[in-house]
A and B are shown apart, each in its own frame.
Chain A
Amino acid sequence: MSESSLSTTSRLGLARKGFRGRIDAIAAADHASDLPSGELERRLVELGFTEGASVEVLHEGMIGRDPIAVRVNASTVALRRREAMAILVI
Chain B
Amino acid sequence: MTALAEGGVRHFALIGTPNSGKTALFNALTGSRQKVANYPGVTVERKTGAMRTPSGLSVNLIDLPGTYSLRARSPDEEVTRDVVLGRLASENAPDVLVCVADATNLRLALRLVIELKHIGRPLLLVLNMIDIARRRGMEIDLDKLSAELGVPVITAAAVRRGGTDDLMRRLDELAASILSHKGELDWRAPTTAELRAAQREADRLIKVAVRMPEKPDTLTTRLDAVLLHPVIGLVVLLAILFVMFQAVFSWAQPIMDLISSGFDALGQAVHDVLPAGLLQSFLQDGVINGVGSVIVFLPQILILFLFILLLEDLGYMARAAFLMDRIMGGAGLHGRAFIPLLSSFACAIPGIMATRVIDNPRDRLTTILVAPLMTCSARIPVYTLIISAFIPNTRLWGFVSLQGSVMFGLYAAGIASALGVSFLAKFFFWRDNPTPPFMLELPDYKLPRPRSVLIGLYTRAKMFLQRAGTTIFSMMVLIWFLASFPRPPVGATGPAIEYSLAAILGHVLAPLLAPVGFAWQIAVALIPGMAAREVAVAALGTVYSIEGGKEAAQQIGQALAHQWPLATALSLLVWYIFAPQCASTLAVIKRETGSWRWMVITFAYMLTLAYLASLITYNVAVALGAG
Chain B residue numbers with a CB within 8 Å of A65 are: 230
- Among B58-66, B158-166, B315-323, B542-550, which stretch is in contact with chain A? B315-323
- Give every chain A residue within 8 A of B105 (Cβ-Cβ): 74-75
Taking CB atoms, residues of chain A closer than 8 Å to B216 are 74
Q: Which of A52, A62, A74 has the most CB of B within 10 A?
A: A74
**Is B325 part of the contact surface with A, judged by Cβ < 8 Å?**
yes
B71 interfacial contact with A, CB 8 Å = yes
Q: CA–CA, A83 to B96, complex, Å?
A: 37
Q: Which residue from A35, A46, A67, A82 sits with its C-beta under 8 Å from B195?
A: A46
Q: Does residue B439 face the partner (Cβ distance < 8 Å to A)?
A: yes
Is B230 within 8 A of A60, CB to CB?
yes
Q: Is the CB of A63 within 8 A of B327?
A: yes
Tell me whether B326 and A62 are in contact (CB under 8 A). Answer: yes
**Interface residues on chain A, number (Cβ under 8 Å):** 38
Interfacial chain A residues near B326, Cβ < 8 Å: 61-64, 66-67
Select from chain B the residue with minimum beta-carbon distance to A60. Answer: B230
Q: Please indicate which of the listed interface residues B224, B229, B326, B335 has the most CB atoms of chain A within 10 Å of its own CB.
A: B326
Please determine whether B437 and A80 come into contact, CB atoms closer than 8 angstroms.
Answer: yes
**Contact present for B441 and A42 (CB under 8 Å):** no
Given A47-B441, A76-B442, decide whether A58 and B330 contact each other with a Cβ distance below 8 A. no
Instruction: Give the residue of B104, B221, B436 whose beta carbon is less than 8 angstroms from that of A35.
Output: B436
- Rounded to whole Å, the gap between the CB of A42 and the closest CB of chain B is 5
Interface string of B52-88 (1 = CB under 8 A from A): 0000000000000000110101000000000000000
Q: Report whether B318 and A78 are in contact in the complex, using a CB–CB cutoff of 8 Å.
A: yes
How far does the Cβ of B57 sit from chain A's closest Cβ, in whole Å? 35
B interface size (C-beta, 8 A)? 46
Q: Which residues of B contact A35 (CB under 8 A)?
A: 436-437
In the assembled complex, the CB of A57 is this many whole angstroms from the nearest CB of chain B, namely 12
Contact between B195 and A78 (Cβ–Cβ < 8 Å)? no
Bound together, the chains give a CA A82 to CA B326 distance in angstroms of 12
* Contact assessment for A67 and B325 in the assembled complex, using a CB-CB cutoff below 8 Å: yes
Shortest Cβ distance from residue B115 to the other chain A in the assembled complex, whole angstroms: 10
Interchain CB contact (< 8 A) of A47 among B68, B106, B234: B68
Q: Is the CB of B199 within 8 A of A50?
A: yes
B192 within 8 A of A: yes
**How far is the CB of A45 from the nearest CB of chain B, in Å?**
5
Out of A38, A41, A46, A67, which one reaches B108, CB within 8 Å? Answer: A46
CB-defined contacts of A62 to chain B, threshold 8 Å: 230-231, 233-234, 323, 326
Are A63 and B330 also in contact (CB < 8 A) when A42-B195, A74-B107 are?
Answer: yes
Contacting pair B325 A48 (CB below 8 A): no
CB distance from B216 to the nearest CB of A (A): 8
Closest to B191 in A: A42
B435→A34 contact, CB < 8 A: yes
Cβ of B478 within 8 Å of any chain A Cβ, yes or no, is no
Please tell me if the beta carbons of B434 and A77 are within 8 angstroms of each other in the complex: no
Tell me, in angstroms, the Cα distance from A53 to B335 when the chains sit together: 26
Residues of A close to B504: CB separation below 8 A: none
Chain A residues in contact with chain B, CB under 8 A?
Answer: 33-35, 38, 40-48, 50-53, 58-67, 69, 73-80, 82-83
4 A-B pairs besides A45-B195, A59-B224, A77-B439 with CB distance below 8 A are A74-B104, A75-B108, A80-B439, A82-B437
Offer 19 A-B interface pairs, CB within 8 angstroms, sorted by A.
A34-B435, A34-B437, A41-B192, A42-B195, A45-B195, A46-B195, A58-B228, A59-B228, A61-B325, A62-B231, A63-B327, A63-B330, A66-B325, A69-B442, A73-B107, A75-B105, A76-B442, A78-B439, A80-B437
Interchain residue pairs A-B with the least CB separation, the first 6: A34-B434, A62-B230, A63-B326, A59-B228, A76-B442, A46-B68
